Amino acid sequence: MKEEIKKFFKGDLEDGEETLEKYSHDASLFTVRPKLVAYPKDGEDVKNLVKWVNKTRTNADFTRTGAEKISITARSAGTDMTGGPLNESIILDFTRYMNKLVSFPCQGDTLTGAITVQPGMYYRDFEKIVSEKGLMLPSYPASKSICAMGGMYANNAG
């Protein structure tokens, strides 16, 4: 699987013991061991990986290949307490590369549009930027110093 994905994926792919152990956990009591952790460089990596998984599942002889078990779970900081960012297939971690503020439309101290961030941006970094303009994103989770924006969005935590 890793070798096939390397053909089109610009980001990093890891399947070492230490990495798989780390991504087998979140803040919950659950343990689910993935087969691969992918760190996308950009939206094209995400799109191409989703297409590859869909194509692989569609074209597979499920009884022979086990391709029906190929899936993707998006993950940011992994502070979820429900097991949400765990998966036995591919974990797509956004915190390594896709962790930036995309747009912050302001004129002076006035916000003039929607703020856009990548899913791996840590809330603490976001909070620092917007607080300089007197803004905040309520309500923030208890894990605000270690959580990321994608996870907050996925869990309706902000």
- List of domains in the chain: 2-93 (3.30.43.10), 101-154 (no CATH)
> Is the per-residue pLDDT at 62 higher than 80?
no
Euclidean distance between CA atoms 102 and 113, whole angstroms: 13
pTM over 0.85: yes
pLDDT higher than 90, residue 51: yes
What per-residue confidence (pLDDT) applies to 60? 60
Question: For 99-112, what is each residue's pLDDT tens digit?
Answer: 999 999 988 778 88
Bridge pairing between strands 101-103 and 116-117: antiparallel
d(CA 99, CA 81): 22
- Any idea what DSSP says for residue 129? H
Q: Looking at the chain, how many residues does it have?
A: 158
Position 66 pLDDT exceeds 70: no
106 vs 96: which has the higher pLDDT: 96
Q: What is the mean pLDDT of the chain?
A: 90
Instruction: Name the CA radius of gyration of the chain, rounded.
Output: 17
